[in-house]
């Protein structure tokens, strides 16, 4: 599951490939993005296409939050404390779901229309590489890019506006624009390191247009692994 990516490019390149109105402000020359952080996306909104900063991590499913709140309620009851389950559920922390695989799920279906689609500009993405881990050390990352020059490419994503949730306990309930991106089965480059999944990557302008404008049955066809010869492992 991809939980780290980097964007090292200029904003003109993003505008040129997506034809978006630039509302990013001054984008850092190189930005590593982790879950629950702000990242640039290009989204459809109110009949426009804009590049903006949005928080990474779509809402988790109601079942996941219900199960987590239930466990918390049980622990409180074991300690003899009163439980207002509705309040507990509403305030259950949700750091968000970063990667989206099962687009047939009712949880995701509501956000698959053109109005909730986005693309996420990147130049490389990381997957943990357990085979490279040294004894007693942290698991290093393997990095992947479109080619050795690390060109601008995009994840196929979805976004939601002003979702109310508790992202961090100290902040309480907040309203945030949120995004996540689709995954699919891994290709032969990613698979040896991360056999479960890889992000859905769009390299061609026509694929970006299809994702942002086409009806779902057509856009769904882009949820497939990138050909092996269109992705490289970057040695760092």
Domains, the chain, ordered by start: 5-57+94-234 (3.90.1680.20), 60-93 (no CATH)
32 and 4 Cβ atoms separated by less than 8 Å: yes
Helices 11-18 and 205-213, interaxial angle, to 10°? 70
3-state helix, strand, coil in the chain (%, to 5): 25, 35, 40
Rounded to an integer, what distance in angstroms lies between the CA atom of residue 173 and that of residue 166? Answer: 5
User: How far apart are the C-alpha atoms of 167 and 198, rounded to whole Å?
Assistant: 25
Tens digits of pLDDT across the chain (236 residues): 689 999 998 899 999 999 999 999 989 889 999 999 999 999 999 889 999 999 999 998 777 767 776 887 778 787 877 777 777 677 777 788 999 999 999 999 999 999 999 999 999 999 998 877 776 678 889 999 999 999 999 999 999 999 998 888 888 899 999 999 999 999 999 999 999 999 999 999 999 999 999 999 999 999 999 999 999 999 66
Separation CA 80–CA 169 (nearest Å): 23
Cβ pair 180, 58 in contact under 8 A: yes
DSSP-derived pairing of the beta strands 198-199 and 201-202: unpaired
Angle among Cα 51, 162, 181 to the nearest 5 degrees reads 55
**What DSSP string runs through 97-129?**
B-EE--TTSHHHHTT-SGGGEEEEEESEEEEE-
Q: What are phi and psi of 33, to 5 degrees?
A: -115, 125
């Amino acid at each position: 599951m991809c939980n780290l990516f980097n964007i090292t490019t200029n904003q003109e390149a993003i505008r040129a490939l997506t034809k978006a109105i630039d509302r990013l402000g001054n984008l850092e020359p190189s930005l590593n993005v982790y879950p629950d952080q702000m990242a640039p996306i290009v989204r459809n909104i109110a009949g426009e296409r804009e590049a903006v900063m949005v928080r990474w991590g779509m809402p988790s499913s109601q079942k996941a939050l219900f199960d987590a709140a239930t466990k918390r309620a049980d622990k409180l009851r074991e300690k003899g404390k009163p439980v207002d389950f509705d309040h507990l559920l509403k305030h259950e922390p949700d750091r968000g779901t970063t990667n989206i695989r099962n687009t047939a799920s009712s949880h995701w279906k509501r956000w698959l229309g053109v109005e909730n689609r986005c693309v996420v500009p990147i130049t490389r993405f990381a997957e943990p590489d357990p085979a490279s881990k040294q004894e007693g050390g942290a698991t290093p990352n393997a990095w992947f890019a479109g080619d050795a020059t690390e060109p601008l490419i995009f994840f196929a994503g979805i976004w939601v506006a002003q979702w109310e949730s508790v992202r961090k306990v100290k902040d309480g309930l907040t309203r945030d624009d949120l995004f996540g991106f689709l995954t699919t089965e891994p290709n032969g480059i990613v698979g040896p390191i991360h056999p479960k999944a890889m992000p859905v990557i769009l390299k061609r302008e026509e694929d970006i247009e299809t994702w942002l404008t086409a009806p779902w049955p057509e856009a769904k066809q882009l949820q497939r692994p990138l050909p092996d010869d269109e992705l490289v492992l970057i040695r760092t």
